[in-house]
Structure 1
């Protein structure tokens, strides 16, 4: 694995870990006992950020790895870093009522789309020309 891909992967794990810690803090702050997933709006925002981040990471990580393996790892790492920046923006905006999380979501979505195109191109190229 390319070191930049490993770095983006580890930073994604850090992001997921931070959102997990924030949910735990919100549980204590707002008195939402596990296993409840509803309660105070502040808790629900933290919980949705965590769940949305995990859901997005399930799509992002394998796409990042395939794009790096069958394409250019530096370009894949750059798109991965953009995805991370978008997800951080999204998480920060979601946590505050009234803030627009759309731009962060769009940045992450576009970065994921770029990775998906890189991955598909690389796999198809390999199947057609390296076979």
Structure 2
């Protein structure tokens, strides 16, 4: 269980690759030539999934590792798994219909929020002790 945050990090990298692949596939399928980022609605949804997931990953990974570093390894890993699973849910829903992306997004934010709380508590405890 000590390696759970590392597994979550690897799954996040795989998720990022999946969103990148979906955009590339949609570019070819709908004839959207680079550098264009608009055209067919299905391409635009894939592109937004990729960009939003990338934006969220930038906040997710540091909080995952801060929470793990400051004493919440297992709980950080669990919250991280929630985040990854919810981001997959979000991506699949958004690719089908943009109006269905909300529940996956909200669950991913719960996972991330839990990590923020763990990171703040852990860092705060360390600063008070040292």
TM-score tier after normalising by the smaller chain length: over 0.9
C-alpha separation between the residues in 2 aligned to 1:117 and 1:24?
Answer: 36
Q: Give CA-to-partner distance per residue, 1:64-119, whole Å, 9 cap, x none.
A: 00000002100000000000111011000100126511110110001101000000
Residue aligning to 2:77: 77
CA distance in 1 between counterparts of 2:88 and 2:98 reads 17
TM-score by length of 2: 0.96
RMSD between aligned alpha carbons? Answer: 0.9
Which secondary structure does the structure 1 equivalent of 2:63 belong to? helix
Contact kept? 2:49, 2:95, Cα under 8 Å: yes
Q: Distance in 2 between matches of 1:38 and 1:98?
A: 15
> Aligned equivalents of 2:62 and 2:26: distance in 1?
30
Give the ranges of 4+ consecutive aligned residues of structure 1 lying more than 2 Å apart after TM superposition: none
Equivalent position SS for 2:100? coil
How do 1:33-44 and structure 2 match up within 5 A?
33-44=33-44
Q: CA 1:26/1:114 → structure 2, altered by over 3 Å: closer, same or farther?
A: same
Instruction: Trace 1:8-87 onto structure 2 (pairs within 5 A).
Output: 8-87=8-87
The runs of 5 or more residues in structure 1 that have no matched partner are none
Query: Could you give the per-residue CA deviations for residues 21-59 of structure 1, whole angstroms, max 9, x where no partner exists?
Result: 110000000000011111100100000000001000000
Q: Distance in 1 between matches of 2:83 and 2:49?
A: 15
SS across alignment from 2:96: coil
